């Protein structure tokens, strides 16, 4: 009866007649797993463009990846929405971000063991100009994590003004290099289509997140405990070094086997675009030593130096 009373009070507080809702329960069907998870809809979302059987694997894996990216974005949206996040709150969120990124890295071998080499190299040509480069959620995760100035192309940073505004930063964001001819400045179709669909939303998000990223939230803390510091470095390394490297190794398997050096479906210089040493993308540059930054992506030995109990981090504007 206590439950009935709480239900009654709930709907009375909404100005509704509780009896109507209670009567509705008599006629409602029990929920099932397949309805709740929308299994039938989910399993119908694979639409291969060819008759190669393993193309379905290719589609399913990328769909699963997008769901994990959505889970990560879900955590980051909670971080930026928290006015004064605590160390405990951030630690919990970082543990989840690390877990999801690790799953993505460890599962990426599906892209090699799950598909026939010759079949993939045949059906992938039907995907042109589509490319994983066009994953918008990947871009939005970056925006939530760090200042836009940290996403500037390493080749363009020396050409920036002293205080670049949003427009200037967006013009020189690193991922545009993959879709722009460096000699002519001409954008390829992959980049053009991406910008047509997402650039307005990307620009709005970048503007809304200025001064409110995960990196900015860290600047609000009086200090960063060592345990949180290690998690931040781990997430940065996983997302910006190890994950791009597994993409690179898979691309090498399919595109560079036997020295054939095939072109990517998006038309980019994929070796330079995927290797972290060329992008030099870091979410939390203040947490890395000069030596680590210089050797970014060159090896996996990124150790914490000393038994640091607390680490301060400057605001993005102060770097």
Q: In this predicted model, which residue has the larger pLDDT, 319 or 102?
A: 102
Range 283-299 average pLDDT: 93
- Rounded to two decimals, the pTM is 0.88
Lowest-pLDDT choice from 196-205, 225-234, 306-315: 306-315
Lowest-pLDDT choice from 34-38, 88-92, 141-145, 180-184: 180-184
Q: Are 274 and 219 in contact (CB under 8 A)?
A: no
pLDDT recorded at residue 234 = 98
pLDDT recorded at residue 295 = 92
pLDDT > 80? residue 292: yes
Q: How far is CA 304 from the centre of its chain?
A: 24
The domain made up of 60-81+88-299 is a member of CATH 1.25.40: no
Q: Above pLDDT 90, what percent of the chain? A: 74
pLDDT recorded at residue 278 = 85
pLDDT > 60? residue 197: yes
Whose CA is closest to 318, among 149, 88, 139, 144? Answer: 149
pLDDT recorded at residue 300 = 54
pLDDT recorded at residue 49 = 96
* 249-282 tens-digit pLDDT: 888 888 766 555 555 554 556 566 678 888 889 9
Provide CB contacts within 8 A for 280, sequence distance 6+. Answer: 154, 293, 296, 297
Domain spans in the chain, listed from the N-terminal domain onward = 60-81+88-299
Range 191-210 average pLDDT: 97
């Amino acid at each position: 009866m206590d439950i009935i009373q709480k239900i009654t009070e709930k709907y009375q507080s909404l100005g509704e007649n509780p009896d109507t809702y209670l009567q509705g329960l008599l006629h409602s069907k029990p929920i099932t797993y397949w309805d709740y998870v929308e299994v039938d809809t989910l399993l119908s979302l694979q639409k291969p463009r060819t008759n190669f059987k393993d193309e379905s694997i290719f589609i399913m894996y990328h769909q699963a990846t997008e769901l994990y990216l959505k889970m990560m974005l879900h955590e980051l949206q909670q971080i930026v929405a928290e006015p004064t996040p605590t160390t405990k709150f951030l630690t919990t969120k970082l543990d989840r971000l690390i877990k999801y990124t690790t799953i993505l890295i460890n599962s990426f071998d599906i892209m090699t063991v799950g598909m026939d080499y010759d079949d993939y190299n045949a059906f992938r040509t039907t995907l042109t100009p589509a490319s994983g480069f066009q994953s918008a959620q990947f871009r939005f995760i970056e925006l939530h994590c760090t200042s836009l100035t940290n996403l500037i192309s390493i080749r363009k940073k020396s050409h920036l003004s002293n205080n670049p505004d949003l427009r200037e930063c967006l013009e020189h964001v690193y991922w545009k290099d993959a879709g722009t001819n460096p000699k002519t400045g001409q954008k390829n179709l992959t980049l053009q289509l991406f910008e047509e669909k997402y650039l307005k939303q990307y620009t709005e998000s970048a503007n809304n997140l200025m001064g409110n990223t995960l990196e900015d939230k860290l600047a609000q803390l009086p200090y960063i405990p060592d345990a949180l510091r290690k998690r931040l470095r781990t997430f940065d390394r996983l997302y910006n070094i190890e994950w791009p490297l597994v993409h690179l190794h898979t691309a090498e398997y399919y595109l560079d086997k036997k020295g054939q050096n095939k072109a990517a479906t998006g038309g980019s210089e994929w070796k330079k675009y995927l290797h972290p040493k060329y992008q030099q993308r870091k979410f939390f540059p203040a947490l890395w030593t000069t030596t680590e930054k210089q050797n970014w992506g060159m090896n996996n030995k990124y150790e914490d130096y000393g038994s640091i109990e607390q680490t301060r981090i400057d605001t993005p504007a102060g770097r």
